[in-house]
Structure 1
Amino acid sequence: MSNKINILFVCLGNICRSPLADGLMVHAIEQRGLDIYFSIDSAGTYAGHAGNRADERMRRTASSHGVELHSIARQFVKADFDLFDHIVVMDDSNYSNVERLAKNDNDRNKIFKLRSYDNQQSNKDVDDPYYGGMQGFENCFSVVNESVNNFLDFLVHENQINTNK
């Protein structure tokens, strides 16, 4: 890709959780004026939704918080290990699916769960809101937003990115 920090968010279908994480990270990066430092994408371990936009309920939830989701679903592929510095998964199942495609320890070391960056560093799953009601999408937004912002804070600090303009 580039000299940017390349981050890939991964869930099952790439229509709810990972597009939300993608959109929230892009939003936070733009709000902080850090666009030149990061490249963000999302993917799913299941190809059934490839080519689709994020679920309408997830887009509506994000939009109600001032965040637009522009991603188009695609499947995670082995080549993603060569393109991304961080592969951020939403749950244990997707962690296992991504890890199975890893070629070596370097690939495996790029994978971690998003909620390792929630306020409790809980490493819990981000619950999939797909089969629930709208409150599930709101809950998902809250959890992902907290974790994404904490992860961005970590990256800014770890990479000594100057945020003073």
Structure 2
Amino acid sequence: MTSTVKVIFVCLGNICRSPLADGLMLHKITERGLENFFEVDSAGTYAGHAGERADSRMRSTAQKHGVELASIARQFLAEDLDHYDYVIVMDDSNYSNVTRLATDDTQLSKVSKLRSFDKKASNKDVDDPYYGGISGFENCYQVVSESVDNFIDHLIQTHNIPTP
């Protein structure tokens, strides 16, 4: 049996983008019958929202698509670089904040931007919808959903995960 692949998604406050990616990945791997192969979490580089649920606008947008966001915000810790196999960040600022905590090349190699898995391999930022209108949350959902699908496909291939 393939060992568990450990993934953590990281944004600034852990209330919009990273809980969406966390919830979408859990939803999509469950749909594919792959939930036993993964450990999924999310965190923020800023601790100001620790203990809170995802932003209500993000939860509402996800729920409209049948996805539950159950995560509780927490701060990303240096120890997470040892525990997780993949540290997937939402933007350049998150990338800088996380890589600053890395103590060696192995930890650095675990960090990628989520949009490096979009169809164009754009490596762009996932825009933070927090200060915008509801359309920004829907756009964020679409971008994260596509990238998470492609990321899961990448993990299946990379780790030889058997698909049902």
Judge same fold: TM > 0.5, yes or no: yes
Q: Cα offset for 1:82? A: 1.3
Q: Using the alignment, how far apart are the partners of 2:132 and 2:10 within structure 1?
A: 20
Q: Using the alignment, how far apart are the partners of 1:90 and 1:35 within structure 2?
A: 23
SS of structure 1 residue aligned to 2:10: strand
Where does the alignment leave 5 or more consecutive residues of structure 2 unmatched? Answer: none
Hey, which bits of structure 1, 4+ residues long, moved more than 4 A? Answer: none
The residue type equivalent to 2:157 in the other structure is H
- What is the match of residue 23 of structure 2? 23
- What is the match of residue 163 of structure 2? 163
- What is the match of residue 96 of structure 2? 96
CA RMSD of aligned residues (A): 0.5
Q: Cα offset for 1:162? A: 1.2
Aligned residues: 162
- What is the match of residue 109 of structure 2? 109
TM-score w.r.t. length of structure 2:
0.98
Q: Deviations over 1:31-86 (max 9, x none)?
A: 00001100000000000000000000000000000000000000000000111000
SS of structure 2 residue aligned to 1:43: strand
Q: Cα offset for 1:158? A: 1.3
TM-score w.r.t. length of structure 1:
0.97
Q: Using the alignment, how far apart are the partners of 1:125 and 1:31 within structure 2?
A: 27
Q: Cα offset for 1:150? A: 0.3
Where does the alignment leave 5 or more consecutive residues of structure 1 unmatched? Answer: none
Q: Deviations over 1:8-47 (max 9, x none)?
A: 0000000000000000000000000001100000000000
What percentage of residue pairs aligned between the two structures are identical?
Answer: 64
- What is the match of residue 82 of structure 1? 82
Q: Using the alignment, how far apart are the partners of 1:4 and 1:90 within structure 2?
A: 23
